[in-house]
Structures are given as C-alpha cells and as structure tokens.
Homo-oligomer: A and B are copies of this chain.
Amino acid sequence: MKKLFIISAIFSLHLSLGIHSFAQQSLTQRPEVTSPVINGDTVTFKLYAPKAVTPKTIGDFPGSPLLMDKDSTGVWSATITLPSELYIYRYDIDGVFTADPANAFTVRDIATNFSLLLMPGDVTANYIVNNVPHGRLSSVWYESPALKTQRRMSIYTPPGYDESQSTTLYPVLYLLHGMGGDENAWPTLGRAAQILDNLIAKGEAQPMIVVMPNGNAALPSAPGESWLGFTPPTTSLPHTMDGTFEYAFEDIIDYIDAHYRTIAEPSGRAVAGLSMGGFHALNIANLYPDKFDFVGLFSAAISPRENVDNHLFTQREKMLDRLFGRGLQLYWIAIGKDDFLYDANSEYRAQLDSSHYPYEYYETDGGHTWKNWRRYLARFASKIFK
C-alpha cells in the first residue's frame, strides 16, 4: 500500500506499440516532435522522417504543397503564414499520403483521414470550444418505416434544453450533408455544435435543436457505425439523389416531434443542406410545403443525379409555386464564386426570379468547400426563428 503508482507504466500499451520499432532504430535517439506549432499567424508543420527524400505538406490552404527542410535529427519542417481558418492537411512522404503522425487530431473526410489545424483569429473563434454554456451532441437511432430500417443521426440540443424542469419548446433546424458525407459530417468538419454554442452564447442565434440525419437512403449510418461494418464510403451508392431520401424524410420529422420538445409548426422548422444536402433541402421543402418556414441551400446541387422520372423533379415548378404560394419566411441561397455549381445556381435563381419568388442570395469567394459551408451555417442559423 505504500508503493507509489508508477505513471509511465500506465502507458505500457502505448509504448509497446512503438517499442518494437524503437529497437530497430539502432539506438538512435528518436526526437520528440510537436506538430503543428502555431505562433501567432504562422504555423510550422514538423515530421520525423529520417529517410525521406522530398516530403511535402499538402493542405487546403494557399501555397500547398509546401516543400520541407530537414534538420540534423531527421525532422523536416515547413512554415507558412495563414489567416484564421479551420484547415485540413496531410503529408506526402515520397508517395505515401498520410495524416501528421504528431497531430492527435484528425478528421475523416469521406474515406481519408486528414490532420486538423485551427489557426486562431476571428473566423475560428466561432469553431473552437469556448467557456460558454454548451448544448449536448447525441447519436440517436430512429426507426424509418419508409426505408424499413433503423437509422442513425446526430442531434444537438441547445444549452438549457436538458434542464430537468424545463418545458420550453424549441425550433428545429434539419441540417443535411453532402455526397460522401454522413451524420458525422456536420458535427466534425462542419463544427455544428461549436458554431451553435457560440452563436447562442453571443445572442446571435436562437436556441434551437439541430438534427443531422444520414442522407444516404441506402445506408443506416456512417461507415463503422452499423452492422454493415467498416465499409469505406463509396461514390457508387444508389438512391442518393433520386427522391428516396426526401420521401422518407417525414419519418425523421415524426420522430423528432414525438421525442423532443419542438415547436411543431412551420415557424419552428428549418431545412438546410450543403451540395447534395442542398438538393435534398430544396426537394424536401417542395415535398412538404406546409412544414418549413426556413430553407437554406448551401452550394446546392440543383439537378438530380439519376435521370429519374419522379414528380419531385418533373413537377418542380408546380411544387415551387405551391411552396412560395404558402408564404415561407426565408429561402436562402448561398454559393461561392468558384463553385462548380455556380452556373446551376445562377440558372435556378433566374427561374425563381422569373416567377417573382422571394429569396435571399449570399455570394462568397471560394468554391465547394467546408470553409464556405461553416460560414453559411453560421449566417443561416443567425437568420432563422427570429
């Protein structure tokens, strides 16, 4: 009972996985590497790769790929000045593309893990966890009679929602991901919980529930989270953009209204999505014209993927007429100047203009990126339920 607990031994598993190779290092000291190292508005990427020839840092920032310089201990580094933003990056080590081994924080984008980098400043102030009241983020399974399976979604409930005595009803934002994404996309790359916590703390958004379902009608969940196993995401999923998800969407609304304290009327519901999810949002608003007062299309795909003979697409004009005839509060379209869907969105806006349907339009720099989608979420969330 007197012996002190030796803390290094607690790391035995961790060390045991390194020690084999450690022994192969011919007793060379393996340097401790910290990466990335942020210093004001500069960041240094570091990589211990004693035998690499021309490693590079590849990221979604200007200047990528960065060539790296080697020091005498086998550590390569590259330094760059970057504006405040959430970036993802990895290394190309002579053909091996890999996340930064020294950075414990990665994020999966489709089938690839990237390392995470938040450069401090005004943009990421909304994306970091601040010492403000926090909502809850939950993984929730619901039964979908239409899709004949149970399915997984991510749900954010705002600060105060879970106070035991509360009877307050809350509005609900249904927030949809893009192709290759899943119910984990908005909570991870999208920083949805952090953005909502921060906006609500500043009084810039109303407290709201955010429902982030899986928009791939053929799948119950993100890969690794269902009985289908760890199948990597694929580009060849069926029923992504043929109306299947939209027709099954009422199952989600019904579940949410039955299980959460919601304002179960159009003034208490918004639907928004990015890319494929913008396409879904567009169609869901059309299909359930009496459900949503707020619609957000973020870099939305406009046309179906499959050339389907589905009245969601063939009757779109009639459905828009019905939707706008009912009189919703906000139809919000956002896209970047460099987005490959820019022309399709311009064409769609021309169609809305010609019918004198009111909408708000927000055009930004940049393209089809999470950088834009995080900003669109923050902006849209601050406009709804007010």
Binding site for B on A (CB under 8 A): 1-14, 16-18, 20-21, 24-25, 30, 34, 47-53, 56, 58-60, 64-65, 74, 88-90, 92-99, 101, 104-106, 108-114, 116, 118, 128-131, 133-134, 136-141, 150, 152, 162-164, 178-180, 221, 223-227, 229-230, 232-233, 235, 240-241, 258-259, 275-276, 279, 301-307, 316, 340-341, 344, 347-348, 351, 367-370
Q: How far is the CB of A222 from the nearest CB of chain B, in Å?
A: 10
Q: Are B141 and A1 in contact, with the CB atoms below 8 A?
A: no
Could you list some 20 contacts between A and B, CB below 8 A? Answer: A7-B240, A8-B235, A9-B340, A10-B179, A11-B110, A12-B367, A17-B88, A21-B56, A21-B97, A51-B53, A52-B94, A52-B96, A93-B96, A101-B112, A104-B113, A104-B232, A104-B233, A116-B230, A129-B224, A140-B162
Q: Are A65 and B99 in contact, with the CB atoms below 8 A?
A: no
Q: Are A129 and B227 in contact, with the CB atoms below 8 A?
A: yes
Q: Complex Cα distance A348/B232, Å?
A: 47
Q: Complex Cα distance A138/B162, Å?
A: 12
Q: How far is the CB of A320 from the nearest CB of chain B, in Å?
A: 11
Closest to A50 in B: B95
Q: Complex Cα distance A4/B56, Å?
A: 37
Report chain B residues within 8 Å CB of A11: 110, 179-180, 235
Closest to A59 in B: B17
Among B25, B105, B340, the residue within 8 A (CB) of A12 is: B340
Known contacts A12-B340, A95-B25, A233-B104; is-contact A17 B303 (Cβ 8 Å): no
Give how many copies assemble into the complex: 2
Q: How far is the CB of A253 from the nearest CB of chain B, in Å?
A: 15
By Cβ-Cβ distance, the 6 closest A-B pairs, closest first, are A138-B138, A21-B92, A10-B179, A51-B94, A134-B141, A98-B98
Q: Are A275 and B96 in contact, with the CB atoms below 8 A?
A: no
Q: Are B235 and A7 in contact, with the CB atoms below 8 A?
A: yes
Q: Complex Cα distance A64/B229, Å?
A: 25
Known contacts A227-B130, A351-B1; is-contact A10 B276 (Cβ 8 Å): yes
Known contacts A1-B316, A10-B178, A138-B138; is-contact A128 B227 (Cβ 8 Å): yes
Q: Are B226 and A180 in contact, with the CB atoms below 8 A?
A: no
